[in-house]
Amino acid sequence: MTAPQQEERSPLEDLESRILRAAETVARLREERKELEARLRSALEEKEVVSRSLTLAREEVERLTRELEGVRSERKQVRGRIEKLLGQLDLISAE
């Protein structure tokens, strides 16, 4: 009877071994999933920070562009006034 009992155990032990390996695989996959979820959360937070920085940078570029346009407009007005004054000086000098 020892031989049949050993034969019966062998498939049972094989099944037990396969179940244990499956359980270990499930546990490992769950751990990997947790790690990946943490990495995803971190990446999403970093994306949000970068997005906010980009928005602030765009706003700064727009502000600086408006300021530059204002300075150019002022320079054009000053140039026109200086040319007008130089023209008047030329008239005075010609007299």
Longest pairwise C-alpha distance within the chain? 139
For 12-23, the pLDDT digits (tens) are: 899 999 999 999
Q: What per-residue confidence (pLDDT) applies to 94?
A: 79
Rounded Cα gap, residues 83 and 78, in angstroms: 9
**CA 74 to centroid of chain Cα atoms:** 39
1 three-class SS: coil
| pLDDT band for position 1 (cuts 50, 70, 90) | very low
